[in-house]
Structure 1
Amino acid sequence: MKKNLSLILSLLALVGVVVLAVLWWCRSVSLTDVSLDTFIGVMVGMVGILVTFAIGWQIINALEIKSKLADIERLKTEIDAQHARIEKIAARSAFDSAVNRSYTLYKTGEHVKAFVCTLEAIEHCLKIEEYEDLDILLKNLVAHAANSHSQYCYKSDCEEMIKIDTAIRQAPKFALIRDRYEAAVHEYNRWFKPVIDDKKEK
């Protein structure tokens, strides 16, 4: 649209120049025929035409900008939806990995690390909203906590527990598992100096 309008305006300007050149060449209009009133009238008319063209140009620009903004908004919506899907896929992958590690560590008797991995699995499970898996994970968390009393909790594991526990408690869906989760933490803290704040005892 802009290109067409520019072409039309250019042609009009060219035609105007040609007409003025022909009139000048033929000397069909004499300067003595031009009065002050005529001159002012012609100037006002020219200003009106220029203002009309300027307003029209701005309207065309505004419509094009509005169209571009609508396209940008649509692309933003698509990107946000794609980002949400990617985050959910990443959370699902991290969830599966944490569950597999927790089972492997449980089988090898490393119950503290299995407890940490189950916490991590719960964190990701709250993101993907797989509530059936949450029931199993919470039962496993209690079992790992009970089996941890004969093992030492290393500093790296303790720091990881605190970090994951904070993320779990900040999750929007934490209220759904609060009681069972804190029961598991309470079971863990029965055997250890509390690493994770035991909210049930406050």
Structure 2
Amino acid sequence: MREFIKRNINGKTVLSLFILCNIVYALMLSVTIPEVMHYSDGMKILDMMPTGYDVQYVKTLFNTLGTAGRDLYLYHQLPLDLIYPFLFGVSSCLVLAYFINQLGKLDGKLFYLCLLPLFSGLFDYGENIGIITMLKDYPDISEFQVQITSTFTVIKSVLTTIYFIILIITLLALANKKLFIRKV
């Protein structure tokens, strides 16, 4: 894995994947999520609830969405959200690896921090599979389905937050290094 990452942290590859990832994310935020939320009567969709949800919330949301809203969720939003976790995981891994490499620390233990977004992407897939299953099973949604899917949502959110904190710290360290070198 380390060698794969090292081979792909050139600026062009990192920037291309970063742009592609953010195009997909922008499409979700500006098109597919608003389409679904049009039917939600102000309720947040499950993907957008970082602290999780319970079975009552899921049933109320799916009922409020109606057939048209559930179909948009299942056939418009979730197909894009099956592409996004891969793009986020890989591009974010490479972005962090690129900056850690700029610090000269990629060969050490900091390398393992680059794997964090890949795990976030895996939990995002767990969340998406759970949401797809619940949408297909509606109205027969079990407490267990919701608990598992909500757990995936929370873990995805925690890992993503930790990743961005690490990225900010890395960028600050890199800026400090660049400023310090210029002053000397």
Give the TM-score taking structure 1 as reference length: 0.26
Give the TM-score taking structure 2 as reference length: 0.28
Which one has a bigger Cα radius of gyration? 1
Higher relative contact order (CA 8 A, sep 6+): 2
